[in-house]
Amino acid sequence: CVLTQRGHHVPLSNDSTGGRWWQTGDDPWQVLACCMELTSAVRSGDPPSFISHLPVHQDGSCNGLQHYAALGRDWLGAKQVNLVPGDRPQDPYAGVAAMVEEQRAKDAAEGHEIAINLEGKISRKVVKQTVMTVVYGVTWVGGRLQIAKQLRGSIPDDQLWDCSAYVVGEVFRALRQSFAKARGIQDWLSASARKVSLAQRPMEWVTPLGLPVVQPYHKMYQKSVSTQLQGLNMRVAWNPSYPPDTRKQKNAMPPNFVHSLDSTHMMLTALHAHRAGISFVAVHDSYWTHACFVDTMNRICREQFVTLHNEPILSDLAQFLEHKFGDLTYRDNSLEKRKRIQKCIFRDPFPTIGVSKFRYALFL
């Protein structure tokens, strides 16, 4: 006896192999668990009344970009990550892949050798990891390595570096075009952290839930030890009394700030799910509940996202930084000598307006 599901036969006997098609997916054990639950439902004799204990996962659509789109009130970006209503769900990864492929085709038509070598190689899978992590601070080098990993095997090894470098450049270009305000917010967050660290203080802020956050990135202390055989330079682990590491403070601020918004949204959803009496589990932006509670969880998830982003988050952050660090000065050696001493000034990069329309997005 079998149950046909999307063209496959789900085994309903004790033999769980069923042709082993379930082993071909990214999460084969989850597929098998679902098959076993479907089997139990069918065998119960009354599937609609079957009590399922299998958690149903609902994932955000590139939720780092969702937060940036909401922070910047970026309607175009919001549409691409399913924050606004639409007839069908948008796929930001496929969208970026399409933009990269469009540019590749143009370059190939002009005789660009690398673009020609990449014909038929650009896909959603190739760009997904880089698109997903760029909002968390992935660098050009890191993005190139991610794409090289996906291209390996389909591109000759001697062409892999050039091809991955080309693709990561086009991915970054596509993201700048599609999510311009996200880039602006990232730059503002990085610049703010740089000012604070140059003033010899670690970057800190308070989440909308009131949780204080301090970035623990300090310079390492280097100590020289001389022996009869050789001299050694020992790097001692960071200590809060050491000066902040400006580079790490600056680079870490955008991803850490967005992670703090992620955690705030997750906690708000968990609290309201508890009040509604439904089971709730979360792993980052993946929210789980039982099948009978999915609609309720989806409603709560959207409502709490709107509640979070109806707060003037960037304005509050700018005011906090101005109050906390506004009396400090810092030395900026990148400026000409007479202008190097600067005062810490923080301004909200975007005006605050409502985001209530996001509540009605079907595919968040």
Query: Is 50 exceeded by the pLDDT of residue 174?
Result: yes
**What's the pLDDT score for residue 17?**
54
Above 50 in pLDDT, residue 186?
A: yes
Stretch (H or E) spanning 4: strand 2-5
Spatial contact of 98 and 111, defined as CB atoms under 8 Å apart: no
Q: pLDDT at position 2, please?
A: 46
The least confident of 48-62, 233-247, 291-305, 337-351 is 337-351
55-59, strands of its sheet edge to edge = 55-59, 286-290, 281-283
Q: Given the structure tokens 């192999």, which residue do they identify? A: 17
Instruction: Give the tens place of pLDDT for each residue, 328-343.
Output: 877 776 665 555 667 6
Contact predicate 47/37, CB 8 Å: no
Residues in CB range of 227: below 8 A, 6 or more apart:
none
Determine whether 348 is an active site residue. no
Per DSSP, the residues of 250-298 read HHHHHHHHHHHHHHHHHHHHHHHHHHTT---EEETTEEEEEGGGHHHHH
Going 256 to 317 to 78 to 141, the CA torsion angle's sign is negative
Residues 290, 53: contact at Cβ < 8 Å? yes
128 catalytic per annotation: yes
Average pLDDT over residues 175-201: 89
Integer CA distances (angstroms), 231 to 227, 235, 236, 296, in order: 6, 13, 16, 65
Of 59, 187, 295, 327, which residue is the catalytic one?
59
How far is it, in rounded angstroms, from Cα 181 to Cα 192? 16
More confident call, 134 vs 274: 274
What is the predicted pLDDT for the residue at 277? 96
Among residues 74, 245, 262, 285, the one annotated as catalytic is 285
Q: Which of 243-247, 299-303, 324-328, 332-336 has the lowest mean pLDDT?
A: 332-336
% of the chain exceeding 90 in pLDDT:
50
Instruction: For residue 244, give the DSSP letter.
Output: B
Angle at 155 between CA 153 and CA 161, to 5 degrees: 110
pLDDT for residue 348 is more than 50: yes
Q: For tokens 């909401």, what's the residue? A: 70
Residue 362 has pLDDT above 70, yes or no: no
Whether residue 205 is predicted with pLDDT greater than 80 in this model: the reply is yes
Q: What pLDDT score was predicted for residue 232?
A: 76
Mean pLDDT within 303-316: 92
Confidence (pLDDT) at 220: 78
- Does the annotation mark 245 as catalytic? no
Structure confidence at residue 18 (pLDDT): 56
pLDDT score recorded for residue 75: 86
Let me know if 327 is exposed, middle or buried by CB neighbors in 10 A (0-12, 13-18, 19+). exposed
Tokens of 357: 């329309």
Contact 126, 101 (CB under 8 A): no
According to DSSP, the β-strands at 55-59 and 329-331 are unpaired
CA distances for 124 relative to 62, 128, 154, 162, 242, angstroms: 13, 6, 15, 20, 44
Q: What is the pLDDT of residue 346?
A: 73
Provide the sign of the torsion angle of the four alpha carbons 73, 75, 76, 77, taken in this order: positive
Residue type, 54: L
Is the full-model pTM beyond 0.85?
no
The mean pLDDT of 285-305, rounded to a whole number, is 93
Beta bridge partners of 341: 331
CB neighbours of residue 86 within 10 Å: 12
Q: What local confidence, expressed as pLDDT, does residue 314 receive?
A: 92
Q: What is the largest CA-CA distance in the chain?
A: 83
Catalytic residue among 128, 181, 248, 250: 128
Q: Phi and psi of 175, rounded to 5°?
A: -70, -35
Residue 71: name the closest of 204, 214, 187 by CA: 187
Helices 313-325 and 180-198, interaxial angle, to 10°?
10
pLDDT tens-digit series, residues 94-150: 999 999 999 999 999 999 999 999 999 999 999 999 998 888 878 899 999 999 999
pLDDT at 350: 63
Lowest-pLDDT range, 41-50, 222-231, 273-282, 314-323? 222-231
